[in-house]
Amino acid sequence: MANLLRPAILAAARSSRIKSAITHAPGTRSLVTRFVAGEARDDALAATRALLDSGRAISIDHLGEDTTDVDQARAIVAEYRSLLGDLAELAEAPGSHRLEVSVKLSALGQALPVDGDKIALDHARELCEAALAAGVWVSVDAEDHTTTDGALSIVSALRADYPWVGAVLQAYLRRTESDCRDLAGPGSRVRLCKGAYREPASVAFQSAAEVDDSYRRCLAILMDGDGYPMVASHDPAMIDAATAEARRTGRGPDRYEHQMLYGIRDVEQQRLADSGARMRVYVPYGAQWYGYFMRRLAERPANLTFFLRSLATRT
């Protein structure tokens, strides 16, 4: 059932008509708040404080993508700069790096018709400089496969001055094993996730079993390398695989981390944090939550069932 629903939901994520219907549905907001900290920065900061108090680390994403206007890109950069200023007050001792921001290059202008990659790189440099001053890490989020080469090129350019910039790789892409080998060098932070976009079979594995096998292979490459693997998965099997790989390669809890999304498997997040593992929570916020929300529905049929039930029982 999940394999049948996923393409339809991801197609709906690009539909302006369906977006209008869902964003105006009375039952939508109650489910969105399960996955999104809120629309305002203060909402994200409140969630961040609570998670930090629980012993978890944070990666905050100001939601936005597919920016096609320079002014809009500048507005997103300004919001991130303000966010980093607020996070500087929450930063602890230098080197603890419990705080991170995640950025989508398409939000910074990568999709602009003229000089998109250059504009996105310039904006990302600006954010990295502000993050350095705040004591906060930055990771460059993955998007659909057409952006991968550009994103990794920008990450490489950023790392010349900010070697701590994280890259995000998606295990469902057939190319990712090779990318893992390229990015497994000393100090390289790599977030490995399964993948959340609709991709053709020519570039991406389609079955859950194939994606799982790819994830395990990629995880082994990263654990064998000299970088810092970030295991972004809610799947108990992948969490167990990460623990086994860390044991095999002699990695202590300071040399890799687990990552999960805000609102998903909170009890397991806390269990990992309490066990001494590094556990980072991806906290999204902002008014442009629709695309992110739809990808969360596509990942688990239970999310969609809950959403439809909330619409059917609204008063």
260: left (phi over 0), alpha (psi -120 to 50) or beta: beta
Confidence of residue 312 (pLDDT cuts 50, 70, 90): very low
pLDDT at 27: 59
Kindly list the catalytic residues.
141, 191
The string of pLDDT tens digits covering residues 64-91 is 777 889 999 999 999 999 999 999 988 7
- pLDDT over threshold 70, residue 248: yes
- What number of other Cβ atoms are within 10 A of residue 271's Cβ? 12
Which residue matches tokens 């439809």?
A: 308
CA 178 to chain centroid:
21
The string of pLDDT tens digits covering residues 81-137 is 999 999 998 876 555 689 999 999 999 999 898 999 999 999 999 999 999 999 999
Confidence of residue 21 (pLDDT cuts 50, 70, 90): low
Which residue matches tokens 């977030």?
A: 191
Percent of the chain having pLDDT more than 90? 70
Which H or E run contains 5? Answer: helix 2-12
* Predicted model pTM: 0.86
Confidence of residue 311 (pLDDT cuts 50, 70, 90): very low
Torsion of CA 19, 21, 26, 27, to 10 degrees: -60
